[in-house]
Amino acid sequence: MRLSDFDYILPPDRIAQTPLEPRDASRLLVLQRDTGTLEHAIFRDIGRYLRPNDLLVLNQTRVIPARIYARKESGGRVELLLLRRRDDRTWEALVGGKGLRVGSKVRVEDGPAAEIIALLDGAERLVRFSEPIEPYFPKIGHVPLPPYIHEELKDPERYQTVYARQPGSAAAPTAGLHFTPRLLDELQQQGIRLAWVTLHVGLDTFAPVTEENPAEHKIHTEWCELPPETAEAIRQARQAGGRVVAVGTTSVRTLETAANQTVDSGPSTVNRPPSTVHHPSSTVHCPPITAFTGPTSLYILPGYRFKIVDAMITNFHLPKSTLIMLVSAFAGRETILNAYQVAVRENYRFYSFGDAMLIL
């Protein structure tokens, strides 16, 4: 298995710069992974492909307005992109600005003072504020958009799902952006149940894999939670013959992390497949899933044996990314790359504000 196995050519004009209105007007490419058959649809019609007793598992994380601006003691302006909170006053942050060493002090514009207390990887720093920064977010915070989006977002709520409830993400779980309250109500009236997980997305999700052997890549760690009521909903769906449909790769990682913990294989297991494996892994049976809260560094590559996820809703992902590797593990590398070629040819919109896939 090589990094180039997960590459594809995407014309820049296929990268969606703005979200569609309404949310569920996006296109939907439906992929049957056992046959490779493709069908073109509109997202609002997704209920045609779901069945009563199916369970949609959605990530209820909320993006925090974590991009803030500050001034150095010299007066120079710097940018702080807050990634993860260590405690009430300490954050891991990506900094934009020169000379920010340990001991450097800055003052947030219209906010508290801060000090760099440790150097982390690359441009990341550990920053300690003089007081909690969250109360200042409504006034000083900006929602961080992915680096490939260059248009200004007029309504920051369009980079939130309609069910976002738990603040903590630096990026949105974008597969869920297509749902509207009305569509969710219609699906429930159809007999489809909803369940919730939380995974706080870090900006490392956009970091490219650079190792020629993808198995040598160090996956990022994110905090996630699968509550007891979701574990029970999965048990009931299985018992009723329904499918577990993960909404987004973040829900996939949370579900499979909890499943691995259930069978004592550990939530941070890295699955290192043989280099010749490119076909999808079927879901394997495992004991009833149990609740889980904690960090996950689960790295899903082709050859991974899915334990919980039966179907997946996802957007179109960047070439050579861990996310395209994950969907390749689920549906097969060649099947996914063929679907992406069709999507490019048929003018689908790609990435965070783009169209969606339903992989069955």
- Domain ranges, ordered by start, for the chain: 3-63+155-359, 67-140
Contacts of residue 261, Cβ cutoff 8 Å, sequence gap at least 6:
267, 290, 292
Q: What would the pLDDT profile of 312-340 be if each residue is shown by its tens digit?
A: 999 999 999 999 999 999 999 999 999 99
Residues 186, 182: Cα–Cα separation, whole Å: 6
d(CA 249, CA 312): 8
67-140, which class in CATH?
A: mainly beta
Contact 309, 244 (CB under 8 A): yes
Q: Give the model confidence (pLDDT) of 96-142 as tens digits.
A: 888 899 999 999 999 999 999 999 988 889 999 999 999 999 999 99
- Res. 288 pLDDT band, cuts 50 70 90: confident
CA atoms in the 13 A half-sphere facing the CB of 58:
23
Task: State phi, psi for 269 to the nearest 5 degrees.
Answer: -60, 130
- Picking from 151, 253, 246, 237, the residue whose alpha carbon sits closest to that of residue 199 is 253
- If you average pLDDT over residues 167-188, what whole number do you get? 96
* Whole-structure pTM value: 0.89
- The bridge status of strand 193-199 relative to strand 55-59 is parallel
> For 253-272, what is the mean pLDDT?
69
What pLDDT sits at residue 274? 31
* CA 17 to the chain's CA centroid: 18
CA distance 50 to 47: 5
Mean pLDDT across the stretch 143-151?
A: 89
Q: Is the peptide bond between 22 and the residue preceding it cis, with omega within 30 degrees of 0?
A: yes
Mean pLDDT of 31-41: 97
Say what the pLDDT of residue 265 is: 46
Burial of 137 (0-12, 13-18, 19+ CB in 10 A): middle
Q: Is CATH 3.40.1780.10 the classification given to domain 3-63+155-359? A: yes
What is the pLDDT at residue 219? 86
Mean pLDDT of 155-177: 95
Amino acid at 60: Q
Average pLDDT in the 238-263 region? Answer: 95
**What pLDDT was estimated at residue 284?**
58
Q: What is the mean pLDDT of residues 209-224?
A: 91
In this structure, are residues 175 and 249 in contact, taking their beta carbons and an 8 Å threshold? yes
What DSSP string describes 112-145? -EEEEEEE-STTEEEEEESS-SGGGHHHH-BPPP
HSE, CB side, 13 Å, CA atoms: give it for residue 221.
8
The whole-number pLDDT of residue 158 equals 96
With bands split at pLDDT 50, 70 and 90, how would you rate the model's confidence at 264? Answer: low
Residue 27 contacts residue 349 (beta carbons within 8 Å) = yes
Average pLDDT in the 163-185 region? Answer: 96
